[in-house]
Structure 1
Amino acid sequence: MLGEILRSQPEIALFVSLAVGYFIGSFKLGPVQLGGVCGTLIVALILGQTGARIAPDLKNIAFALFIFALGFTGGPQFFANVGRGWRYGLLSIVEIVSVLALIMIVVVIMHLDAGTAAGLLAGAATESAVIGTATEAIGKLGIPDADISHMQANVVTAYSVSYLFGLITIVLFTSQLAPLMLRVNLRDESERLWREMGGESALEDGQRQAMASLVTRVFKVGPALNGVAVGVLEQRHGGALTVEQVERNGVPSIVGANFVFAQNDIAMIMGRRDALLAGAADIGVEIAGRDSFGLAKAERLDVVLTRKDLEGVSLRELRGRSTAERGRGIYVEAVTRLEATIPALPATRLNRGDILTLAGTKGDVDRGARLLGYPLVPTQKTDFVYLGIGVLLGMAIGHLGGTFGGISLSLGTGGGCLLSGLFFGWIRSRHPLVGSLPPAAAQILKDFGLATFIAAVGLSAGPDAIKLVREYGISLPLVGILMVLIPGLLSLLIGRHLLKLDIPTLLGAIAGQQCSTPAISSLVSVTGNSTPVIGYTITYALSNVLLPLMGPVVVGLARQLGG
Structure 2
Amino acid sequence: MIGELLRNQPEFALFASLALGYLIGSFKIGPIQLGGVCGTLIVALVLGQTGARISPDLKNIAFAVFIFALGFTGGPQFFANVGRGWRYGLLSLIEVSTVLALVFAAIVLLGLDQGTAAGLLAGAATESAVIGTASEAIGRLGLPAVETARLQANVVTAYSVSYLFGLITIVLFTSQFAPLILRIDLRAEAERLWRKLGGDGALENGQRVAAPSLVGREFRVGPAAGITIGELEARYGYNLAVEGVLRKTAALEVEPALMLETGDHVVLVGRREALVEAADAIGEELAGKDAAGFHTQRLDVVLTRAEAHGLTVAQIRERAEPEEGRGVFISAVTRIGNTIPALPGTELNRGDVLTLVGAPDDVERGASLLGYALPATDKTDFVLLGMGVLAGMALGHLSARIGSVALTLGTGGGCLLSGLLFGWLRSRRPLIGSLPSAAAQILKDFGLGTFIAAVGLSAGPDALALVHQYGLALPAIGVLMVLVPGLLSLCIGRALLKLDAPMLLGAIAGQQCSTPAISALVGAAGNSTPVIGYTITYALSNVLLPLAGPVVVGFGSSLRALHL
Shorter-chain TM-score tier: over 0.9
- 1:272 and 1:177 mapped to 2: Cα distance? 38
- 1:291 and 1:453 mapped to 2: Cα distance? 58
Change beyond 3 A, Cα 1:204–1:98: closer
Partner of 2:240: 241
Partner of 1:177: 177
Q: CA deviation at 1:207?
A: 6.5
Partner of 1:16: 16
The one-letter code matched in structure 2 to 1:456 is A
**Residue of structure 1 aligned with 2:525, choices 513, 521, 527:** 527
Once structures 1 and 2 are overlaid, which stretch shifts more, 393-402 or 130-139?
A: 393-402
The one-letter code matched in structure 1 to 2:525 is T
Partner of 1:503: 501
Does residue 1:279 correspond to 2:250, yes or no? no
Q: CA deviation at 1:398?
A: 0.7
- 1:514 and 1:204 mapped to 2: Cα distance? 26
Q: Deviations over 1:377-413 (max 9, x none)?
A: 1212222222212111111111111332211221111
Partner of 1:408: 406
Correspondence list, 1:182-193, <5 A = 182-193=182-193
Contact kept? 2:20, 2:40, Cα under 8 Å? yes
Partner of 1:423: 421
Change beyond 3 A, Cα 1:82–1:191: same
- 2:119 and 2:210 mapped to 1: Cα distance? 44
- 1:185 and 1:218 mapped to 2: Cα distance? 43
Q: Deviations over 1:98-126 (max 9, x none)?
A: 00011111222222111111111111111
- 2:309 and 2:241 mapped to 1: Cα distance? 26
- 1:206 and 1:435 mapped to 2: Cα distance? 38
Q: CA deviation at 1:510?
A: 0.5
The one-letter code matched in structure 2 to 1:274 is E
Correspondence list, 1:259-278, <5 A = 259-278=258-277
Q: CA deviation at 1:268?
A: 2.1
- 2:508 and 2:285 mapped to 1: Cα distance? 46
Q: CA deviation at 1:253?
A: 4.6
Contact kept? 2:171, 2:516, Cα under 8 Å? yes
Does residue 1:164 correspond to 2:161, yes or no? no
The one-letter code matched in structure 1 to 2:519 is S
Partner of 1:112: 112
Alignment length, in residue pairs? 561
Q: CA deviation at 1:277?
A: 2.2
Q: CA deviation at 1:258?
A: 2.4
The one-letter code matched in structure 2 to 1:480 is G
- 1:78 and 1:517 mapped to 2: Cα distance? 18
Q: Deviations over 1:471-507 (max 9, x none)?
A: 2222222211111111000000000001111111111
* Alignment gaps of 5+ in structure 2: none
Secondary structure of the structure 2 residue equivalent to 1:82: helix
- 2:202 and 2:415 mapped to 1: Cα distance? 46
Does residue 1:310 correspond to 2:300, yes or no? no
- 2:164 and 2:360 mapped to 1: Cα distance? 48
Contact kept? 2:202, 2:526, Cα under 8 Å? no
Q: Deviations over 1:221-251 (max 9, x none)?
A: 33x2121222222112111111212333355
Q: CA deviation at 1:431?
A: 1.1
- 1:292 and 1:40 mapped to 2: Cα distance? 57
Contact kept? 2:153, 2:463, Cα under 8 Å? yes
The TM-score, its normalising length taken from structure 2, stands at 0.96
Contact kept? 2:205, 2:523, Cα under 8 Å? no
**Alignment RMSD:** 1.7
- Percentage of identical aligned residues: 67
Q: CA deviation at 1:19?
A: 0.8
Q: CA deviation at 1:535?
A: 1.1
Partner of 1:103: 103
Change beyond 3 A, Cα 1:449–1:205: closer
Change beyond 3 A, Cα 1:24–1:199: same
Q: CA deviation at 1:553?
A: 0.4
- 2:481 and 2:374 mapped to 1: Cα distance? 40
Q: CA deviation at 1:364?
A: 0.7
* Alignment gaps of 5+ in structure 1: none
Correspondence list, 1:219-234, <5 A = 219-222=219-222, 224-234=223-233
Once structures 1 and 2 are overlaid, which stretch shifts more, 253-262 or 82-91?
A: 253-262
The one-letter code matched in structure 2 to 1:79 is F
Partner of 1:299: 297
Contact kept? 1:244, 1:254, Cα under 8 Å? no
Contact kept? 1:253, 1:295, Cα under 8 Å? no
Secondary structure of the structure 2 residue equivalent to 1:300: strand
The one-letter code matched in structure 2 to 1:259 is L
**Residue of structure 2 aligned with 1:488, choices 479, 486, 490:** 486
Q: CA deviation at 1:252?
A: 4.7
Secondary structure of the structure 2 residue equivalent to 1:465: helix
Once structures 1 and 2 are overlaid, which stretch shifts more, 120-129 or 465-474?
A: 465-474
Change beyond 3 A, Cα 1:205–1:118: closer
- 1:272 and 1:155 mapped to 2: Cα distance? 53
- 2:330 and 2:449 mapped to 1: Cα distance? 36
The one-letter code matched in structure 2 to 1:213 is S
- 1:250 and 1:507 mapped to 2: Cα distance? 58
Contact kept? 1:52, 1:459, Cα under 8 Å? yes
Once structures 1 and 2 are overlaid, which stretch shifts more, 100-109 or 484-493?
A: 100-109
- 1:556 and 1:504 mapped to 2: Cα distance? 37
Once structures 1 and 2 are overlaid, which stretch shifts more, 440-449 or 276-285?
A: 276-285
Which contiguous aligned blocks of 4+ residues in structure 1 show a shift greater than 4 angstroms?
201-208, 250-254
